[in-house]
A and B are shown apart, each in its own frame.
Chain A
Amino acid sequence: MADSSLKDVTQLLSAAAAGDSQAAVRLLPMVYDELRKLAASRMLKTPPGQTLQPTALVHEAYLRVVGDADSRFAGRKHFFFAAARAMRDILVEQARRRASLKRGGDLQRVDFVESGIAIEPPSDDVVGLAEALQKLETDDPENAEIVNLRYFAGLTTEETADVLGVSTATIERKWRFARAWLRRELGERAPPSGDLDG
Chain B
Amino acid sequence: MAEQSQGRLEALFNAAIELSPADRGRFLDAECGDNSQLRAEIDSLLAHDAGATGFLRSPIKRSASDSAAPDESPASPPEPLPATIGRYQVLRKIGEGGMGVVYEARQESPSRTVALKVIRPGIASRGVLRRFEQEAHVLGQLQHPGIAHIYEAGTATVAAPGGLTAPQPFFAMEFVRGEPLAVYAERQQLGTRERMELVARVCDAVEHAHQHGVIHRDLKPGNILVASEGGESADDSAGHKTGFARSVPRTGTRSIRRIGQPKILDFGVARATDSDVQTMTLQTDVGQLIGTVPYMSPEQVTGDSSQLDTRSDVYALGVILYELLAHRLPHDVRGRSIAEAARIIREEEPSRLSSVDTLFRGDVETIVAKALDKDRTRRYGSAAELAADIRRYLADEPIVARPASTFYQLQKFARRNTALVAGVVLAFTALAFGVAATTWFALREARERRRAEALLVETRHARDAEAREHARAERRFDDVRKLANTFIRDVYEEIYSLPGATKARELVIRKGLEYVDSLATEARGDRRLSQELAEAYRRLGDVQGKAGSSNVGDTKGALESYQKALNLVAQINAGEPNSYNNLRALATCYDSVGLALRALGRTTEAIETFGKYQQVVEQMVALRPDDEDTKEALARGWANLGRMQAAQGKLPEAIINYEKYIAYTAQRTKDKPDDLQSRLNFAIVTLKIGEILVAQDKIDEGMTRFRKALEIEEELCKIEPQNPSYPTSVATTLQSISYLLADHGKAREALPYIDRMRALRETQVRSDEKDIRAQRNLAVVFYAYGLAYENLKKPQKALEAFNEYLKRIERVAAADPANIVVRRDLAIAVQKVGASQRSLKMWAEADKMLAKNVEMMEKLTAADPADADARRDLAIARYSRGNLYVEMANELEKSPDGQRDPLQRAVQELEASLEISRDMKKRGELAAEVDQEIRKTESAIQACKAQLNKINGAAPAAVSNSGD
A residues with CB within 8 A of B: 47-51, 53-55, 91, 99, 102-109, 112-113, 120-125, 129, 138-140, 143, 147, 150-152, 154, 156-158, 172-177, 179-184, 186-193, 196-197
CB closest chain-A residue, reference B430:
A109
Query: Is there contact, CB below 8 Å, between A108 and B60?
Result: no
Chain A residues in 8 Å Cβ range of B61: 53, 55, 120
Closest to A156 in B: B68
Q: Which residues of B contact A (CB under 8 A)?
A: 2-3, 6-7, 10, 13-14, 17, 44-50, 54-62, 66, 68-71, 123-128, 131, 166, 274, 278-279, 282, 303-306, 339, 425-426, 428-433, 436, 440, 443, 446-447, 449-451, 453-454, 456-458, 460
In the assembled complex, the CB of B625 is this many whole angstroms from the nearest CB of chain A, namely 45
Chain A residue at minimal CB-CB distance from B62: A55
The answer to whether B125 touches A112 (Cβ under 8 A) is no
Q: Is the CB of A140 within 8 A of B69?
A: no
The 8 Å CB contact of A104, one of B68, B278, B429, is: B278
Query: Given A49-B431, A173-B14, A191-B128, A105 and B454 touching (CB < 8 A)?
Result: yes
For the complex, give the distance between the alpha carbons of A174 and B11 in Å: 10
Count of CB-CB pairs between chains A and B under 8 Å:
182
Inter-chain contacts of A120 with B (CB < 8 A): 59, 61
A104, A112, A121, A196: the one contacting B59 at CB < 8 Å is: A121
A-B contact pairs, 5 of them (CB 8 A): A55-B61, A113-B425, A157-B68, A176-B14, A187-B126
CB distance from A82 to the nearest CB of B (A): 18
A109 is contacted by which of B54, B123, B278 (Cβ under 8 Å)? B278
* A123 with B446, Cβ < 8 A, contacts A107-B278, A191-B453 known: yes
Q: Give Cα A108–Cα B303 distance, bound, in whole angstroms.
A: 10
- State the majority secondary structure of interface residues on B: helix
Interface centre among B46, B49, B59, B449 (most CB of A within 10 A): B59
List, in ascending order, chain B residues with CB within 8 A of A53's CB. Answer: 59-61
In the complex, the answer to whether A191 meets B57 with C-beta atoms within 8 Å is: no
Contact B457 A99 (CB under 8 A): yes
Closest to B66 in A: A156
Roughly how many angstroms separate A184 CA and B425 CA in the complex, as a whole number? 40
Interface majority SS (helix, strand, loop, mixed), chain A = helix
* Other A-B pairs beyond A176-B69, A184-B47, 6, CB < 8 Å: A48-B428, A50-B436, A106-B278, A107-B305, A139-B6, A191-B127
CB <8 Å contact, A49 and B432? yes
Q: Roughly how many angstroms separate A154 CA and B17 CA in the complex, as a whole number?
A: 25
* Interface contact B446-A49, CB-CB below 8 Å: no
What CA separation (Å) do A121 and B453 show in the bound complex?
15
The 8 Å CB contact of B127, one of A102, A147, A173, A190, is A190
In contact, B55 and A107 (Cβ under 8 angstroms): no
Shortest beta-carbon contacts, A-B, top 7: A49-B432, A191-B127, A122-B59, A154-B60, A157-B68, A49-B429, A184-B48
Could you tell me the distance between the alpha carbons of A76 and B919 in the complex, rounded to whole angstroms?
77
Q: Kindly state the separation between the CA atoms of A175 and B14 in the bound complex, as whole angstroms.
A: 11
CA of A174 to CA of B6 in the docked complex: distance in angstroms? 12
**In the docked arrangement, what's the CA distance between A177 and B13, Å?**
7
A42–B55 Cα distance when bound, in Å, is: 28
* CB neighbours of B50 from chain A (8 A): 176, 179-180, 183
| B278 adjacent to A172 (CB under 8 Å) | no
Q: Are A109 and B13 in contact (CB under 8 A)?
A: no
With A107-B303, A180-B50 given, is the CB distance from A172 to B69 under 8 Å?
yes
| Residues in A whose Cβ lies below 8 Å from that of B128 | 191
- Selected from A51, A109, A124, A158, the residue in CB contact (under 8 A) with B56 is A124
Contact A184 B59 (CB under 8 A): no
Query: Taking CB as reference atom, which chain A residue is nearest B57?
Result: A123
Are the C-beta atoms of B429 and A186 separated by less than 8 Å? no
What CA separation (Å) do A102 and B308 show in the bound complex?
Answer: 13
Contact of A177 among B10, B305, B426, B456 (CB under 8 A): B10
* B residues near A172, Cβ cutoff 8 Å: 68-70
A186 and B123 contact, CB distance less than 8 A: yes
Complex CA–CA separation, A107 to B947 (angstroms): 68
Q: Are B433 and A179 in contact (CB under 8 A)?
A: no
A180 and B128 CA atoms in complex are apart in Å by 19
Most buried by A among B13, B60, B279: B60
Q: Which residue of A lies closest to B431 (CB)?
A: A49
Give the one of B47, B49, B451 with max A CB within 10 A.
B49
Please determine whether A138 and B2 come into contact, CB atoms closer than 8 angstroms: yes
- Given the interface pairs A139-B3, A173-B14, the reply to whether A180 lies near B425 with Cβ below 8 Å is no
State whether B125 touches A188 (Cβ < 8 A): yes
Inter-chain contacts of A186 with B (CB < 8 A): 123, 125
Which residues of chain B have C-beta atoms less than 8 A from A183's C-beta? 48-50, 55-56, 123
Task: State A120–B432 Cα separation when bound (angstroms).
Answer: 13
Cβ distance B123 to chain A, nearest Cβ, rounded Å: 5
Q: How far is the CA of A14 from the CA of B7 in the complex (A)?
A: 33
Whether A106 contacts B60 by the Cβ 8 Å rule is: no
Q: Which residue of A lies closest to B68 (CB)?
A: A157
